[in-house]
Amino acid sequence: MIQAIRETNFIAYIETEASRIDTSVTSAHIRHLVKFSNDLDDAIFYAYATTEVINNRYTSLAFTYNPIGDIYTGRLNLIPAGYYKYELYEVSWIGAVTMSLGNAPATETDVLSPVANTKGVVQGLVAIGILYLGEKSGSEEVQYTEYESPSTTNYVYTGIPDPEIFNEYSLAFDGVDDILITTKDSSIMPTDNLTVGCWIKPSTWAFAGSSQTYMPFGCIAAGGWGVKFSNNYAASVTTFSADIKVSDAGSGVANYISPSAGTGFSATLRALTGWHYIALTYDKVTGVASLSLDGVEKATATGLAGADIVYNVSNTKLMFGADSYSDTVGEHFFGGNIDEGSVWNKALTSAELLAVYNGGVPINLLSNTGAYVSNANLQGWWRMGDPDGTSAYPTITDDSPNANNGTMTNMTSADIETLVP
């Protein structure tokens, strides 16, 4: 079953290659037309995915919410909420895929003429299943009646669902003393190469007066690294920056390298609303640290090539919602929601970071998809409440193989919210 929430983007993972009909062309010449039907009001919607990636075991189809639907760009506005049957039809092109009216069939029975290499041909049905579309927060949920006898809503799912990627929860931090403290472990404190990232939705920006600093995550008590938003004593200039403490390439002398985006970017920072993905990378070979927002690099800084990251191992735990002043005390508290925190022992490429951002929809970090090829390097992945919701309190599970679970500190179960990117 595919699960999604109304008026949000979503990704479906469905097996298609095992049912491939046209084997005379490569996957680059294949797209899938999806038919969504709801027997509550007989609504029918057609759409090609905004982005489609065909893999050997599954196909990733990303759809975009938009009040005005568009078959050819994957824009959907599914109404009402509830259960939909989906049917997946294979469409192939002899020439390059051309996704536009007159070149891509609009229904499973659409036959385009005259025949041309630029015109897609519906080959047939390759998968069926169910989409459950939950109502958005604050709206009344659709109620269904159970019947003993089978009905047309009892569809058989033939794809490959991935329930772990269904994102339903995030953590809300008050900006005062709320923190998520992870287990201290070398796996989430890599010394060679690093990427650390998370989704943030700020709610308490207050860049005015002498100085404010907000840190969504960090483990920088006399070492390590952290990402921060601050106004550096000037209410009109806000910076997005990071610090990484590194050795002097074997000399034993440690220094900080600090990528920072401020001048020319300040107004953008101060106006941040909604969900955004932030990430910090460090490449030991080059000595370059990079800071990105929504998959786009915003600042870099270069230290000495070959320098290791240095930690204060006796006094540092990775924290979300603040930086670690000590193993149990945070500082520079962040106010807002945080979701999908993660650590890799690799500097992800710009293409990978853009794939992780995925147009504003979190992906399954345990599965390589498209440009993202670093699932084996994932050292920590805190999903901030998924899949158990408030019953998980106070433990936030690390879904990476290392199981460095986090503990909600100075927080309540109500801070696990159904507010997600």
Instruction: Please state, rounded to an integer, the average pLDDT across all residues of the chain.
Output: 82
Q: Answer whether residue 339 shows pLDDT above 70.
A: yes
Residue 233: partners with Cβ closer than 8 Å, 6 or more residues away: 210, 211
Same domain, 297 and 258: yes
User: Is it the case that residue 75 has pLDDT exceeding 60?
Assistant: yes
- Quick one: pLDDT at residue 52? 95
- Count of the separate structural domains present in the chain: 2
Q: Which of 161, 194, 219 is the last residue of a domain?
A: 161
Longest Cα–Cα distance in the chain: 75
Interior angle at CA 125, CA 120 and CA 128, nearest 5: 130
- Per-residue pLDDT for 407 more than 90? yes
Residue of higher predicted confidence among 221 and 409: 409
Tokens of 296: 């786009």
User: Which domain CATH number covers 35?
Assistant: 2.60.40.10
Residue 399 has pLDDT above 70, yes or no: yes
- Same-domain check for residues 265 and 197: yes
pLDDT per residue over 140-180, tens digit each? 444 444 444 444 443 333 333 343 356 889 999 988 889 99
Amino acid at site 25? V
Domain boundary (161, 195, 211) is at: 161
> For the purposes of burial, counting CB atoms within 10 Å of the CB of 327, is it exposed (0-12), middle (13-18) or buried (19 or more)?
middle
| Tokens representing residue 276 in the block | 């955004």
The pLDDT tens digits for 194-235 are: 999 999 988 866 555 556 677 788 776 667 887 777 765 555
In DSSP terms, 121 is beta-bridged to: 92
301-334 pLDDT tens trace: 998 888 888 887 655 688 888 876 665 666 678 8
- Measured CA to CA in angstroms, residue 84 lies from 13, 77, 133, 154 at distances of 16, 13, 8, 11
Both 33 and 147 in one domain: the answer is yes
DSSP 293-357: ETTEEEEEEE--TTPPB---GGG---EESSEESSSS-EES--EEEEEEEEEESS---HHHHHHHH
> Is 267 a residue whose pLDDT tops 80?
no
Using alpha carbons only, give the angle 130, 135, 138 rounded to the nearest 5 degrees: 170
The per-residue pLDDT for 341 is 93
Minimum mean pLDDT range among 84-93, 337-346, 385-394: 385-394
Q: Does residue 216 sit in the same domain as residue 69?
A: no
For residues 206 and 145, membership in a common domain is answered with no
Residue 40 belongs to domain spanning? 2-161
pLDDT value, residue 328: 61
Shared domain check, 255 and 127: no
CATH number (domain holding residue 362): 2.60.120.200
The pLDDT value given to residue 283: 95
**Alpha-carbon dihedral angle through residues 55, 25, 63, 397, given to the nearest 10 degrees:** 0
pLDDT for the residue 344: 96
* 20/160: higher pLDDT: 20
Least confident of 10-24, 137-151, 280-294: 137-151
Domain match, 155 and 177 both: no
Examine the fold and report which residue of 103, 136, 161 is the final residue of a domain before the chain moves on. 161
Task: Please report the pLDDT score of residue 152 as a whole number.
Answer: 41
Note the pLDDT of residue 122: 94
Co-location of 116 and 175 in the same domain? no
Residues 299 and 341 in one domain: yes
The region of weakest confidence among 98-107, 140-149, 172-181, 291-300 is 140-149
